[in-house]
Amino acid sequence: MANTNFTDQVNQALTPVGTAERVFSWHDHASLWFSLGVGLLVMQVGAYLVPAVGSRDAVIAIVLGSLLGAGLLAWTAKLGCDSGLSSAGLMHATYGSYFARLPVLLNLAQLIGWTTFELVVMRDGTAAIAQQSLGLSLDGTGGIVVTTLLWGAVLTLLLAGSMTQLVRKVISRVGLPLVIASLLWLTWQFGGQLHSKGLEAFWAREGDGSMGMLSAMDLVIAMPVSWLPLVADYARYGKSGRSALSGTWLGYALANIWCYALGVMVVSVAQPDVNLVSALLLAQGGLIALSLILVDEIDNAYGDVYSGAVSAHSIKSSWTVRQWGLGLALLCTGLALVLPMHSLEPFLLLLSSVFVPLYGVILGRLSGVSVRLQPMQRKVDFSAALLWLAGIAVYHLLAKWAPQWGAALPTLALTFGLAWLTRANVSMNQLGEPA
């Protein structure tokens, strides 16, 4: 039976979670994914959309992209909950025990990157708050080191505890009400400013044509897609697949729409030379609201590192998930000290090109069957591997030659459909008997 007190004898990442440990209710799923969906990075991407496509199309892209992306996330959550397998386990069941190491390692690399991003965002936000409230400059080398190590220490401390207890007792009961209150306040403030400037003028604002509607949806979908390789690591602790699906979908979709919309509102009322964090601080009560959102960012970093630890444990099980988590937290803290903050949009789209077809194949192969890993599972499922690699190529070809059609949704539909049609050739000894 799997548990959160990991041992060296069992590969916990590839072992289904036992019934006794399935403690997450609908509220836990919704709270976790609402909290993970809130972030300054999401608001920043929302701010990118308005200059490119205009206000009306930006809002449409945000709503449709969030619903579709969160739906894909929720579908994967249900699969993880029904099977009790982690994301690494789902990859093993689909691609084979040997080939699955490639997407697992890619996932680990992107989680290290995301955690480093989160630490940089928290560090920069802390510096902005200190400058605004105390007149204290933390932009120098000493300030950067201190604030980075501070957030790295908080992350490391959280990883020493229980994941399920953190979600149920801290995020659901304390973090969620505080972050909702901060979002409501910021919405009131910037919504009021937008109303005073004229909603008709805002709605009529046109973009510069640098991005089409479907391309904008791709950028919106990229954010929930970046969570696809993580969601099963948490959903596997759910009591039922239905609650995992609905809670994840509602929680993440609401947060994604809300934060993207806030980014749109902020960029629509702020001065052109004012960045997102500064604009939030200049709002009435913005210091408190931004501080609460900044604190909420730590659970994003935690979510990345915990899932990265599960992925790493699937490859080297002699290290426990907790040991891997502590090691990855220290690594990301070090990287945040030396790596510059790169452009976010290409990074997000690159992740989508890998994980959209990866999970298109997983969902096509595993949906509707009772998934469980077998000791004699094949090392490489060549048809699944080829479909994934072909899906990556299709994604990039569409992005280059037919950007007006978008890339994420056509690639997802293609890989899912082909994986579904070819799964009759997959050994049921590998996947388990049909449900």
Give a yes or no: residue 252 inside a domain.
yes
Give a yes or no: residue 427 inside a domain.
no
Identify residue 159 by its one-letter amino acid code: L
Residue 6: what pLDDT?
A: 39
Residue 430: what pLDDT?
A: 47
Closest CA to 250 of 33, 4, 17, 21: 33
| CA angle, residues 51, 54, 58, in degrees to nearest 5 | 100
Beta bridge partners of 217: none
Q: 101: which 2 tokens?
A: 């190491």
Q: Domain range spanning residue 203?
A: 26-343
The answer to whether the CB of 433 falls within 8 A of the CB of 371 is no
Give a yes or no: residue 432 inside a domain.
no
Q: Which residues of 308-327 are buried (b: 16+ CB within 10 A; e: fewer)?
A: bbbbbbbbebebbbbbbbbb
Give a yes or no: residue 110 inside a domain.
yes
| CA angle, residues 32, 123, 293, in degrees to nearest 5 | 35
The answer to whether the CB of 101 falls within 8 A of the CB of 294 is no
What is the spatial distance between Cα 435 and Cα 432, in angstroms, rounded to a whole number?
Answer: 9
Q: What is the count of structural domains for the chain? A: 1
Angle between helical axes of 241-269 and 176-197 (0-180°, round to 10): 40
Model pTM? 0.89
Closest CA to 72 of 352, 427, 302: 352
Residue 276: what pLDDT?
A: 79
The answer to whether the CB of 229 falls within 8 A of the CB of 197 is no
Give a yes or no: residue 358 inside a domain.
no
CATH number at residue 152: 1.10.4160.10
| CA angle, residues 53, 57, 58, in degrees to nearest 5 | 75
What is the spatial distance between Cα 227 and Cα 33, in angstroms, rounded to a whole number?
Answer: 10
Q: 399: which 2 tokens?
A: 């992005």
The answer to whether the CB of 230 falls within 8 A of the CB of 307 is yes
The answer to whether the CB of 296 falls within 8 A of the CB of 180 is no
Distances (CA, A) of 4 to 17, 122, 159, 236, 237: 9, 28, 12, 12, 10
Give a yes or no: residue 408 inside a domain.
no
Question: Count of CB atoms within 10 A of residue 280's CB?
Answer: 28
φ/ψ (deg, to 5) at 85 = -95, 150
Each residue's pLDDT, cut to its tens digit, for the chain (435 residues) gives 344 443 445 888 999 999 899 999 999 999 999 999 998 878 888 888 888 898 899 999 999 999 999 999 999 999 999 999 999 999 999 999 999 999 999 999 889 988 988 898 888 888 888 887 777 888 788 888 999 999 999 999 999 888 988 888 888 888 889 899 999 999 999 999 888 888 888 888 888 888 888 888 988 998 898 899 999 999 999 999 999 999 999 999 999 999 999 999 988 888 777 777 778 877 777 788 888 888 788 888 999 999 999 999 999 999 999 999 999 999 999 999 987 755 555 776 688 789 999 999 999 999 887 766 654 467 899 999 999 999 999 999 998 898 888 898 999 999 999 999 988 655 444 444 433
What is the spatial distance between Cα 395 and Cα 398, in angstroms, rounded to a whole number?
Answer: 5
Burial class, 27, CB count within 10 angstroms (exposed 0-12 / middle 13-18 / buried 19+): middle
**Continuous segment of H or E residues that includes residue 359:** helix 344-366
3-state secondary structure of 54: strand
C-alpha radius of gyration, the chain, whole number: 21
Give a yes or no: residue 366 inside a domain.
no
Give a yes or no: residue 5 inside a domain.
no
